[in-house]
Amino acid sequence: MNEQLGQIIKAKVTDENGEYFYAQTDGGHTYEIDKDELMKPLKIGGYVTGFAYQNEDHRLQITKAVPDVQKDQYSWGKVVQARSDLGIFVDIGLANKDLAVSLDDLPTMKELWPKKGDRLLLSIKEDNKGRLWGKPAQQDIIQAVSRQARLGAGIKKGDKIKATVYRNKLVGTLVITDNYCLGFIHPSEREVEPRLGEVIEGRVLGVNDRGVINLSLKPLAYKVMDEDAQFLLLQLQRKSEHFLPFNDKSAPEDIRAQFGFSKGQFKRALGRLYKDRLIEMVDDGIRLTDKGLGN
C-alpha cells in the first residue's frame, strides 16, 4: 500500500525524458511529473512538491495543480459519469483521473444517484488495496462546516435560494446552500424526490429554531392555477375589502357580465381557490383568506 497517495508529498527529481520528469520518495516510489504543466523545468537532484495519485493509466504521478479534495480535506467535485456496477465518477480537478465514489456510499435507490453535472462535497479515502475513492461528506462534516440561518439576515420568506442535496432520508431531503446554511425539504413540499448531489432551487418557508431553512420545491398556488382562477384571485386582491358578492348560486348572466366567463368556468375557478385555501365562503359572496392576501 502507498500511503502517500491522495495527499501532498515531496520527492527528489532523479530523471527525465521528452514528456516527464521522474521523482522518487524516501519510501522508494517513483512518480512522473508531466512537463506540460510546469512553468519552468525541474532540476535533477532537486525536489518537487505536489499532489500524489495514480492516474487513469495506473501510473504514479505528482501534479503541481493540487486539487482541493484530499485525504481529510473536503471540497466540491462535479459528477461526470455513473456506472451501475461500480458507482459514480467525480472530477476533482485532475487532468487524467476522475475519482470513483463506491455504490456502497450511494443511495440504495439508483434513481437517487447523482447524474452528470451534479456535485458532491467529498474527500479522499484509501481502501486496503491502496486504491483511492471519493468519500461523500457525512452529517458530522456537514454540521462542522455549516452555519445557522435566521430570517432577516439576508433570508426572508418567499425567497428563492439554491442548495445541493447531501442526504436523502425517509423524513425528507437534506440540503446545504452555497453559503453553507442547512436546509430541509419535507416530502409534502416536493413532487419528486431530488437526487443526491442535485442542485435545487427552493422557496423559503421559514427557519426553525436550530437555524435550518425549511424549503419548498412546489410553486405557489396561484402560479399553477388556470387563467380563470388567477383572474378571479386578482379581482379579489384589487378590491379594498377583498370581497366579491358572487358565489356558486349566482346567476350565469351576472357572472358573465362581471368576469366574462361561464358559470361552469366560475365554479371551477371558485373550487380551485377554495381548495388552495385562498378564499372563504361568506354570506352572499367570497372573501380572501390571510393566505390569499399573502400573509
Ordered by start, the domain boundaries in the chain are 8-63, 75-137, 146-216, 222-293
pTM over 0.75: no
Residues of the chain with pLDDT under 70: 1, 221-225, 295
Question: Sign of the CA dihedral 276, 278, 282, 286?
Answer: negative
Q: Which pLDDT does position 295 carry in this prediction?
A: 59
β-pairing, 47-54 vs 8-16, is antiparallel
Pick from 167, 155, 169, 170: nearest CA to 202: 155
Residue 294 phi, psi dihedral angles, 5° rounding: 90, 15
Whether the domain at 8-63 and the domain at 146-216 fall into the same CATH topology: yes
CA distance 52 to 92: 14
Rounded CA separation 272/235 (Å): 15
Residue 223: what pLDDT?
A: 61
The predicted pLDDT at position 171 comes to: 94
Cell of 196: 443526491
Q: What is the pLDDT of residue 102?
A: 95
Contact present, 142 and 121 (Cβ < 8 Å): yes
CA distance 172 to 213: 13
Q: How many residues does the chain have?
A: 295
Domain 8-63 has CATH 3.40.50.300: no
Q: Could you say which of 1.10.10.60, 2.40.50.140, 3.10.129.10, 1.20.1440.230 is the CATH number of the domain covering 146-216? A: 2.40.50.140
User: Which pLDDT score is estimated for 221?
Assistant: 60
Q: Where are the alpha helices (DSSP H) in the chain?
A: 139-145, 227-238, 252-259, 263-275, 290-293
Q: What is the CATH architecture assignment of 75-137?
A: Beta Barrel (2.40)
- 266: closest CA among 232, 222, 224? 232
- Beta-carbon neighbour count of residue 87 at 10 Å? 20
Q: Selecting from 1.10.3720.10, 3.40.109.10, 3.40.50.150, 1.10.10.10, what CATH number does the domain 222-293 have?
A: 1.10.10.10
> Residue 228: its pLDDT value, please?
84
Look-up of cell digits 435560494: 161
Encode burial over 122-141: b for 16+ CB neighbours within 10 A, e otherwise: bbbebeeeeebbbbbbeeeb
